[in-house]
Amino acid sequence: MLPGLELVAESEIRAKLPEASLQESLRGKVLFGAAASPDRPLALRTVDNVYVLAGRFPVGPRRAHLKDLESTMARLDLREAAAAALGRRAGKYTSFYVNASRAGKHTYSRFEAAEAAARGVLARHAGWRPGSATEHDLELRLDVVGDEALLSVRLTPPAFRFRGAGRAFSPAALRPPVAHALVWLSGPEPDDRFVDPFCGSGTILAERLPYPARRVIGGDRSAEALAAAHENVAGDRRVSLQQWDARRLPLSSQTIDKVVTNLPFGRQVLNQAEIPAVYRAVSEEIARVLTPRGGAVVLTEQVTPLEIAARDAGLAVEPVATLSLKGLNPKVLRLRYHSRTGREEPNGGKR
């Protein structure tokens, strides 16, 4: 998953795969043991991909150590993991591709590590043949992190994280798994009246729809973005879409349970100088439309203007995650009402 979303993914795994045992979280990865069928983890939505971990072993830092990597790989039997990925046993013409990442100090590149791993795979699996980055039956992933390597086999097809080929995306669209993480953090409930005031192409709305909801409402000032949202979500009768200015939402006060949104923050969407005023107006609108028990989950790179604006609007702000996204580090913040005294209750208002 996107680095920063590990805890969200853990929570989704706990809820959706109760039989799975969480083992360890690394940057951008959650390792878990699942006894049930390999299809079950494909229900996860905050992850970009699902893999079967086939091996975890030490690696040295120098190019000379690639020989050891190759011979360790030559001892690793990948047939069971390959069968899980292919839905059948790997056969004579099974092509594979090793996609490698490397973090830490090594005198070899990730490409050299991938080549060494591929030589080991070929030595062990008679009949398998090397594929290319774009054409292969099996994708093997080699992650070299410091003095350790993880070798896994990918279960999910490339379109998994884009939810198939059918979705329309606007230029500033969120990746569906990130949108899903925001939705998951809002704690979907069947009675929710849910709003994304800056819905763009409707990625967040679309990710809310797999769960029961009373209403799912989206708006944007761009007609073009709304046309994409229409394509993505308007088929669901719980959805309504509207062209609006989020600074003046056409929604009655205290009628919304959850606001989840990806605020405009990059230069591609909003002029930087406009941000404090827009965030102020939007925070006031969020505070106005939310029911007293409601809450918001917001993604932005402009954390300070949002914190100031939300607090001035009477909302408590809690940072929940920092992401690594396209070279930026936007934060996910949870907004909710202060207690009636205007101060936060020490236990977060829970009894």
Summarize as ranges the residues that interact with ligand SAM (CB under 6 A). 170, 172-174, 198, 200-201, 203-204, 220-222, 225, 245-247, 262, 264, 269-270, 278
Whose Cβ is closer to ligand SAM: residue 17's or residue 217's? Answer: 217
Residue 34 vs 234, nearer CB to ligand SAM: 234
Nearer to ligand SAM, 175 or 334 (CB): 175
Please name every residue paired with 239 in a beta bridge, in sequence order, or none if there are none: 216
Q: Which is nearer to ligand SAM, 137 or 231 (CB)?
A: 231
Backbone angles phi, psi at 141, to 5 degrees: -115, 125
Residue with Cβ nearer ligand SAM (174 or 209): 174
Nearer to ligand SAM, 163 or 221 (CB): 221
Q: Give the nearest distance from C-beta 261 to ligand SAM in angstroms.
A: 7
Query: End-to-end CA distance of the chain, in Å?
Result: 34
Give me the amino acid identity at 178.
Answer: V
Full strand arrangement of the beta sheet holding 331-337 = 239-243, 215-220, 193-196, 256-262, 290-300, 331-337, 315-322
CB of 301 to ligand SAM, least distance (A): 10
Largest CA distance in the chain: 72
Return all residues near 257 (Cβ < 8 A) that are at least 6 apart: 189, 191, 192, 193, 194, 290, 291, 293, 294
Give the nearer residue to ligand SAM in terms of CB position, either 151 or 172.
172
Task: State the nearest-atom distance from the C-beta of 289 to ligand SAM, in Å.
Answer: 14
How far CA 193 is from CA of 178, 186, 225, 288, in Å, comes to 21, 12, 22, 14
CB within 8 Å of 85: residues ≥ 6 apart: 38, 52, 138, 153, 154, 155
**Rounded CA separation 311/309 (Å):** 6
**How many whole angstroms separate alpha carbon 79 and alpha carbon 85?**
10
* Least CB distance to ligand SAM at residue 256 (A): 16
Q: How far is the CB of 7 from ligand SAM (least distance, A)?
A: 21
Return the residue nearest ligand SAM (CB atom). Answer: 200
Give least dist CB 134 to ligand SAM, A. 26
Q: What is the CA radius of gyration of the chain?
A: 23
Name the residue nearer to ligand SAM (CB basis): 247 or 338.
247
Which phi and psi angles does 32 have, rounded to 5°? -145, 155
Of the pair 100, 256, the CB lying nearest ligand SAM is at 256
Pairing mode, strands 239-243 and 215-220: parallel
* Minimum separation from the CB atom of position 212 to ligand SAM (A): 22
CB 207 within 8 A of CB 179: yes
CB of 229 to ligand SAM, least distance (A): 7
Least distance to ligand SAM from the beta carbon of 281, Å?
8
Dist. CA 4–CA 6, nearest whole Å: 6
Say how far apart CA 155 and CA 178 lie, in whole Å.
20
